[in-house]
Each structure stands twice: as C-alpha cells, then as structure tokens.
A and B are shown apart, each in its own frame.
Chain A
Amino acid sequence: MPGHELIKVEGLTKYFPVKKRIMLTRAVSYIHAVDEITFTVHEGEIFGLVGESGCGKTTTGKLLVKLYEPTRGTITLDGQNVVAIRRGKHLREFRRRVQMIFQDPYESLNPRMTIFDIVAEPLAVQGVRSLKEREERVAEILSQVGITPPETFMFRYPHELSGGQRQRVAIARAMVVGPQFVAADEPTSMLDVSIRAGVMKLLLELKDTLGVSYLYVTHDLAVARYMCDRMAVMYLGKIVELGPTEEVIQNPLHPYTRALIAAVPVPDPTYHREPVEIKGDIAAPIDPPPNCRFYPRCPLSDSACESSPHPDLREVSPGHFVACHKL
C-alpha cells in the first residue's frame, strides 16, 4: 500500500495570457490551462493524469517540477512549500528530489552529447566532483534501465540508438540523481508497440527498486490502466473524476470519462462498444464561463447546470471523486 502523502497539490491554477485584438485596442484574456485542481501523490504510488490534448495534463506535470510557476495554489513536497523555492541551493536540492521524463526521446537528448555526458550532467550539477564516481553511477543506472553493457553505449551519441534505447537513456538521466518523485509526460507514446511494453515494465520496476513515485501523464487510457494506481481525468483545466484506476475504468461516473472510455478502440473485433454520447468539439478554455466546463457537450446537462458554478469534486465511494451536478 502506498505510504504517506509525498506531493500535495491544492487549488493549483495556471493561466497563460493571450493577446486578442479588439478593434484597435488590445485586450488580454487568459487561457485557463489548469484551474483549481487538488490531488495528492503518495509515496510509492503512480498517479495518472489522463485527458485529451489541451486539457492541462502536461502543464500540471511541468508545474510540479517547477518548469512553470503557478498563477495560484500550493504544491508541497513532503510538507515543504515548493512554490516558495526560488533559486540557489534550495532549487538544486529540489531538482535532486524531483525529475521529469519527456515525451519525445528524439527531442529531449542533446545530439552533440554522448550518452555518458547526458546522464552524468545532472550529477555534475548536483556537485558530484569525482569523474570516477560519476562513471560508476552512470554505468550503474544504465544497466538498471537495460542499456547493457553500459561500457559499449556510454561514448555513443543519441543518433546511434533506437527510439526505445533513447527513452531508456532519458529515464536514466532522470533517475541518476535518485529522485523521490518523477513527472513522466507521455513517456511511451512515441514508441512502437513491441518496444513500448518493455519501457512500461521498466518504469514499474524502477518504482520498486529505486522507490520512486510518479505522476504519469498520458492520453491513452489503456496505458494508464497498466501503469497507474490512481488516476484523475482532466477536461479543460479541471479534474472531473479521480479514483483508483481500475475503479474509474470499470465504473466511470462522469459523462466525459464515460465518453472517453467508450471512444477507445478495443483490440477485439467481436466486442461492440457503446456509442459515444458527447456533442460538439472541445473548445480552448479562454476566459471560460463560470459554469461547468463540460456543460456545452454534456448529454446529461440541463438548465441547472447552466446557471450553477463548476461543480466541486465530491466523494461518491471511498476514494472515488467526481465533479458533476447530475450525479
């Protein structure tokens, strides 16, 4: 069972300004990328964030590793206020404890650096001065991520590696400093199927051997099902449903979650999916109205939904939360 609350997020909000021209003046409006979301990640847990493009899942990941600063809200790591960390040794210490894995291993590795330089750089930043120690640590982590034997890979360049190997190197770079928490942004979505399962298994193994917890961002519910202990479904910056992964997938409550699950193709030609009951297209959350974000597309909505503010998350069964007026 997962341990104590490692990451605690409360009322986390991130707005991005957009400039709109209205006649000759310029009015600034805001994209509400992440809007008042609250969740916790326990020690030893994989917490999934799922949703479609533009729902705010990647922004949330970047907020947790301090690649963005929030507009409002708090993030704590082991009780320590993350938002207040500014620079210097506190930030360096934060970076040792919190790391990120990016989606595209063709973009995230510097093509001019050797594998050794890529994986050793975080160690150098963290003040591991001895070259011998850096070499040992890099060799150790490379063999843990399945880049074996490490000696034959250390002085190669990323272009000599396949996509799966590159992503393993990116994982090694995140893990080499021994983080407690890693935000993984679609770490397997660029990989081919036969390679993907191997990387998914590796991430699960590292959770146990290195004792790391993850925020796992993905658009793929089937992947979330295999990776995540609990997950939250996001829609236009809001969490609409949150609960144990299997519970959310087997018993989805929010109409958006239901539509999302119904739309996933099933690799079984004899299986007939339920129709997807959802109207229209997703809109950008630019200065959205205060009512439920999903209201314009919802098959259950009525006039009460139109006039009420966006619903809060409500616990409907132990650990299973949903934000909907109609449930």
Chain B
Amino acid sequence: MSLLDVSHLTMYYRTKMGDVHAVDDVSFSVEPGEAIGLVGESGCGKTSVAMSLMKLLPDNARIVGGSILFDGVDLVPLPEEEVRKIRWKGISMVFQAAMNSLNPVYRVGDQIIEAIQQHLPLSTEQAREKVAKLYTLVGMDPELMDRYPHEYSGGMKQRAVIAMALACDPKMIIADEPTTALDVIVQDRILHRIDEIRKELNMAMMYISHDIAVIAEVSDKIGVMYAGWLVELADTVTIFKRPAHPYTIALMSAFPSIKGEKRPLVHLPGEPPDLLDPPPGCRFHPRCRYATGICQEQVPEYKEIEPGHFVACWNPQRKGVADARA
C-alpha cells in the first residue's frame, strides 16, 4: 500500500471574481521512503497541493473533490482534531521561506521545544535532548540551540526549520522551496543532508520547487504542474530523457545548464492562463506548438503511456527535448 495516495484532488479558492481553479483533478501516490518532486512555475498550484495535503487551507479554499489517503485514512472528510494527530507526526512540512518565520525574540531551540511539546508528551529536559539530537542530525552544533535567529546564517536557519519538521519522526515531509533563498554552495549542502536523512530514516519526501535542476538531484520521481493540472508524472530519468508533455519539453529547453554543450535556449511564448477563467480544452493549448483542434475543445485524459509514466496530453511527444530545439 502506498503511504500517500492522492486521487482526483480538486481544490478551488473562492474569490469575489469567481472560483480560482488552483488544483484540478490531481492524482499521484508516494511510497514509504520515496522522494517525489513537484515542479512548475508561480501559480501552477504546487503549493496549493501541499497545503491541501496538510489541510492547512485558508477560509476561502475548499476541496471540492477527490481523496487524500494517508496511511489508508482519507484526510479530506477528517475533522480538524483528527487531522491534528496526523499533521506533524504523520506528515510534516518545511514551509516556503520558513527560515523567516522564526520568532526573533526567542531562542531557536526553545521554539523547536515548544513545537515538540505541542505534539509529544515530553518534559522540557527530554525535549531539549531531542532538539540536540535533531541538530546533530541536520549537521549543526547542538550548542547553537541557545542562540537567537539573528545569530544564525540563512543556511543555519533553514537547517533549524528542517530539524523542527523532523521533530515528531514523521513518515513524510513536504519541503516547499527548501533552498530557494540560499546560495548554491549552501543549497548543495542542505539538499544532500536532507537526502541522507531521508535514506537513514526511510522517510518519504515531497519537494516542491520551480527549479527542475534542484529537484532532479533528490527526487525518485517528478510531477510537472501547469495551471492547476498535473500534466506529467514519471520517474526522474524518464522525465529528463523522454519527456512527453509539450510543457515539460518546453520547460527543459528553457533551462540554461552549466554542463554539456551550450545549446540555444528555447523560449515559450505567452503567459500561463488566468485560473479564474481557464481556456477550454487543454489549459496549455494556447502556448503549445503541437496543439490540434481537439486540444481546444476537450480536456485531455491523464493516462499511463508506459508503466509509471503518466501524461495529460492529446499529442504526447516521443522525441523529447531534441525535437523542441529543432
């Protein structure tokens, strides 16, 4: 049984102008110990998926369809008191820009102790010991726990926030843009540390990022999102070597790389659609070079084109990235 099984998840934000179709019919699963990456650009719904999984949605958001089975329990109809037992102990999260959420007037260690005591019946002494262990795990000197956030560098704050996410031994961690504000050398260290911890603890991970290169290094499989849809999902090597969705192909070709031959960048014309009023048919068709008549009329089915490789496209491509550069 999968640890997490999301099927047909649909979530809208209600606004004065109408419903924003932020997550539409998204299905994927995560096995115990597996790392999945969700990539996509601003507003594609990747953070909304994460917030739905954590059931941490604002008042105007509602899950209008689908199910989220975590360890066999559907989180969607579950009342808040029950969700609270799963949140942090079952699934925890490193929020986007979480390093800026540390309270500047409390010692970092005390903030983590407080979080632990919310969820586990530990004395302050026991919780302190736990924090010391977590600090060692994320690669920091436990003595740093008595310092204040301003005494930490960006990388140290990020490690502290990761330690907090690990505090209740979760089965899965969602990391939303965990290294986005960090410099490359620090990013490299932190990503590798998270990856090592995941393997040590056999914990599942879900990485969310706009940067496909970052995700490629630490994910077993990758889902690509566009305008609220999961348009393609496959293991990491397949996504890179045989991407089938024209958007995935465009994303790869738009990405400058530091290795290999210097190839011309292909730029994708247009802008992502307005999710208040998404285009009919395939949401990507106005920007798609392979679009045909049916793409303008009918929503493409999300189907498995080879084992474990799912694509939502009327004209999935076979030649991959080489074709887009031609």
A interface residues, Cβ below 8 angstroms from B: 52-53, 162-164, 192-198, 200-201, 219-223, 225-226, 246, 249, 259-271, 276, 278, 281-282
- Chain B nearest CB, measured from A253 CB (Å): 16
Q: Does B244 touch A at the CB level, under 8 Å?
A: no
Contact B267 A198 (CB under 8 A): yes
**Given contact pairs A270-B237, A271-B259, A193 touches B254 in the complex (Cβ within 8 A):** yes
Contact A194 B268 (CB under 8 A): yes
Residues of A within 8 Å of B254, CB to CB, are: 193-194, 196-197
In the docked arrangement, what's the CA distance between A278 and B216, Å? 23
Contact B256 A222 (CB under 8 A): yes
- Chain A nearest CB, measured from B76 CB (Å): 30
- Chain B nearest CB, measured from A250 CB (Å): 10
Contact A263 B184 (CB under 8 A): yes
- Chain A nearest CB, measured from B193 CB (Å): 13
Residues of A within 8 Å of B259, CB to CB, are: 266, 268, 271
B interface residues, Cβ below 8 angstroms from A: 41-42, 153, 155, 183-189, 191, 210-214, 216-217, 236-237, 240-241, 250-252, 254-260, 262, 265-269, 271
In the complex, the chain A residue whose C-beta lies closest to that of B184 is A263
In the docked arrangement, what's the CA distance between A219 and B185, Å? 11
Residues of B within 8 Å of A281, CB to CB, are: 153, 155, 186
Residues of B within 8 Å of A52, CB to CB, are: 183-185
In the complex, the chain B residue whose C-beta lies closest to that of A266 is B259
- Chain A nearest CB, measured from B275 CB (Å): 14
Question: Contact partner of A194 among B153, B184, B260, B267, CB < 8 A?
Answer: B267
Contact A267 B268 (CB under 8 A): no
Contact B240 A269 (CB under 8 A): yes
Contact A260 B185 (CB under 8 A): yes
Residues of B within 8 Å of A162, CB to CB, are: 271
Contact A269 B217 (CB under 8 A): yes
Question: Contact partner of A268 among B214, B216, B250, CB < 8 A?
Answer: B216
In the complex, the chain B residue whose C-beta lies closest to that of A198 is B267
Give the number of A-B contacts (CB < 8 Å).
115
Contact A201 B213 (CB under 8 A): no
Residues of B within 8 Å of A282, CB to CB, are: 183
Interface centre among A163, A246, A268, A269 (most CB of B within 10 A): A269
Residues of B within 8 Å of A223, CB to CB, are: 256
Residues of B within 8 Å of A268, CB to CB, are: 216, 240, 257, 259-260
- Chain B nearest CB, measured from A204 CB (Å): 10
In the complex, the chain A residue whose C-beta lies closest to that of B235 is A269
Contact B252 A246 (CB under 8 A): no
Enumerate 9 A-B pairs (CB-CB under 8 Å) in ascending A order.
A194-B251, A225-B256, A226-B262, A261-B258, A265-B188, A267-B216, A269-B236, A276-B188, A282-B183
Contact A221 B258 (CB under 8 A): yes
In the complex, the chain B residue whose C-beta lies closest to that of A223 is B256
Contact B216 A201 (CB under 8 A): no
Residues of A within 8 Å of B210, CB to CB, are: 192-193
Contact A225 B267 (CB under 8 A): no
In the docked arrangement, what's the CA distance between A192 and B155, Å? 24
Residues of B within 8 Å of A221, CB to CB, are: 184, 258
Interface centre among A193, A221, A259, A282 (most CB of B within 10 A): A193
- Chain A nearest CB, measured from B135 CB (Å): 16
**Given contact pairs A264-B184, A281-B155, A269 touches B216 in the complex (Cβ within 8 A):** yes
Contact B266 A265 (CB under 8 A): no
Residues of B within 8 Å of A198, CB to CB, are: 267-269
- Chain B nearest CB, measured from A199 CB (Å): 9
In the docked arrangement, what's the CA distance between A211 and B237, Å? 43
Question: Contact partner of B252 among A192, A267, A271, CB < 8 A?
Answer: A267
In the docked arrangement, what's the CA distance between A222 and B213, Å? 11
Residues of A within 8 Å of B212, CB to CB, are: 193, 267
Contact B252 A263 (CB under 8 A): no
Residues of A within 8 Å of B267, CB to CB, are: 194, 197-198, 200-201
Contact B265 A260 (CB under 8 A): no
In the docked arrangement, what's the CA distance between A259 and B260, Å? 18
In the docked arrangement, what's the CA distance between A264 and B250, Å? 21
Residues of B within 8 Å of A192, CB to CB, are: 41-42, 210
Contact B266 A263 (CB under 8 A): no
Question: Contact partner of A266 among B41, B183, B257, CB < 8 A?
Answer: B257
In the docked arrangement, what's the CA distance between A52 and B217, Å? 21
Contact B265 A201 (CB under 8 A): yes
- Chain B nearest CB, measured from A93 CB (Å): 36
